DNA sequence: ATCATAATGAGAATGATTCTTACTCTTGAC
DNA sequence: GTCAAGAGTAAGAATCATTCTCATTATGAT
């Protein structure tokens, strides 16, 4: 368990405990990795939190997702990605997605923009009788690394 | 070939021709289905444009994607989805996504909102040295059908 | 017509994710 | 302390959307 994350771990521990789930070392490692590295693929998670079996990682991520601790993202790369849930971090955010290397980076937008968007989305949904719960925004482009690589 | 879509088919035919690709009946059926039904999964496409083999559908969709005719979407359902490219239809749009049945419906947002968002996204990307090419927005909620079903 | 090239479809192969199962660890009651 | 019950773990099998292979069929140019 990473000391910098004691608050985070405390939160997760409570959440899991209330649901009768254990907050094992393996699960802590996954949460640590996600909190330090941002949205990760499974191979990345296995690397960062080494000593964990692939099947266990998948199973634990599924459990953590059901508990509202992590969220599964899906983009175009070969692997899915996982991140800590907004419910847990308290930070509403969106994603910069590199269409060259598939990396995903968090970004936050100004509150007034979020408000404007929420209003616009609500209005847009009325015509189709949709009830809006949330929005996901991918800002797609080229990351700094891939821009350099393209130069060379 | 659907007569209502003659303009569309003409465009696609030209695009494919320039690349030395044939615009066969099967490919026309796929384009027709997408133009009538909006974002479709593969099973949906097979149903709408029947008489097409699964492997051919996948192969043709890949070809059409490379030609810029269709775009592949990826959400949480078991199947990927396909839609006509904005380049082809000329309509920038986003998606209402039902988290209960995974259906996807197109929506357009007012131009001034798109402008505001583009500006905000550009600014947000600077910190991470991202070059922005486009944005994808999913407005996630519950579709009319699933709201009714939940009532019953 | 004939030939070269492209498209098709049946089925095999791929590979991320999920499932099964036998084993190990925790925890709480006694 | 120890024992049983329940929860977690990991190795490998299974699943299944998607991709690939290859033999056959259609198309278009000459």
> Mean of the pLDDT values across residues A20-32?
96
Report residue B150's pLDDT band, with 50, 70 and 90 as the boundaries: confident
Percent of chain A with pLDDT over 90: 90
Q: Are B49 and B5 in contact (CB under 8 A)?
A: no
Q: Are A12 and A39 in contact (CB under 8 A)?
A: no
At the topology level, CATH places domain B92-152 in Dna Ligase; domain 1 (3.30.1490)
Per-residue pLDDT, A64: 98
DSSP-derived secondary structure letter, A130: P
Q: Domain B1-91 classified CATH 1.10.10.10?
A: yes
Over residues B68-101, the pLDDT tens digits come to 999 999 999 999 999 999 999 999 999 999 999 9
Which 3-state string (H, E, C) describes B15-70? HHHHCCCCCCHHHHHHHHHHHHHCCEEHHHHHHHCCCCCHHHHHHHHHHHHHCCCE
Residue B142 has pLDDT above 70, yes or no: yes
Per-residue pLDDT, A50: 82
Per-residue pLDDT, A2: 54
Based on its alpha-carbon atoms, the radius of gyration of chain B, rounded to whole angstroms, reads: 17
Phi, psi angles (nearest 5°) of residue A58? -60, -45
The answer to whether A132 contacts B140, with C-beta atoms less than 8 Å apart, is yes
Over residues A83-130, the pLDDT tens digits come to 999 999 999 999 999 999 999 999 999 999 999 999 999 999 999 999
The strand order across the sheet containing B70-73 reads B40-41, B81-84, B70-73
Residue B90, SS3 per DSSP = coil
Q: Domain A1-90 classified CATH 3.30.830.10?
A: no
The answer to whether A107 contacts B124, with C-beta atoms less than 8 Å apart, is yes
Q: Is the C-beta of residue B59 closer than 7 Å to nucleic acid chain D?
A: yes
In angstroms, rounded to a whole number, what is the distance separating the alpha carbons of residues A66 and B127? 33
Compute the nearest-CA separation of A111 from chain B (Å): 11
The answer to whether A130 contacts B142, with C-beta atoms less than 8 Å apart, is yes
Q: Which nucleotide is nearest to A22 (CA to C1')?
A: D7
* Element at B107 (helix H, strand E): strand B104-107
Q: Is the C-beta of residue B54 closer than 7 Å to nucleic acid chain D?
A: yes
DSSP-derived secondary structure letter, A49: T
Q: Which nucleotide is nearest to A58 (CA to C1')?
A: C17
Q: Which residues in chain B have their CB less than 8 angstroms from residue A99's CB?
A: 133
Residue with tokens 């996504």: B97
Residue B152 has pLDDT above 80, yes or no: no
Q: DSSP string spanning A71-111?
A: EEE--SSSS-EEEE-HHHH----EEEEETTT--EEEE---H
Residue-range domain boundaries for chain A: 1-90, 92-152
Based on its alpha-carbon atoms, the radius of gyration of chain A, rounded to whole angstroms, reads: 17
For B44, residues 6+ apart whose C-beta sits below 8 A from its C-beta are B33, B37
Compute the nearest-CA separation of B99 from chain A (Å): 9
Per-residue pLDDT, B2: 55
Q: Which nucleotide is nearest to B80 (CA to C1')?
A: D17
For B55, residues 6+ apart whose C-beta sits below 8 A from its C-beta are none
Closest CB to A139: pick one of B124, B139, B140. B124
């Amino acid at each position: 368990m990473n000391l910098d994350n004691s608050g985070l771990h405390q939160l997760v521990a409570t959440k899991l405990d209330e649901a009768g789930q254990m907050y094992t070392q393996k699960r802590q490692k996954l949460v640590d990795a996600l909190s330090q590295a941002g949205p990760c693929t499974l191979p990345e998670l296995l690397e960062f939190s080494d000593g964990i079996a692939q099947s266990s990682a998948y199973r634990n991520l599924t459990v953590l997702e059901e508990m509202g601790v992590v969220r599964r993202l899906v983009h175009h790369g070969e692997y899915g990605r996982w991140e800590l849930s907004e419910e847990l971090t308290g930070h509403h955010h969106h994603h910069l997605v590199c269409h060259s290397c598939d990396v995903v980076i968090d970004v936050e937008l100004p509150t007034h923009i979020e408000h404007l968007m929420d209003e616009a989305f609500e209005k847009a949904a009325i015509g189709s009788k949709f009830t809006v719960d949330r929005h996901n925004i991918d800002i797609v482009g080229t990351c700094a690394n891939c821009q350099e690589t393209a130069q060379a």
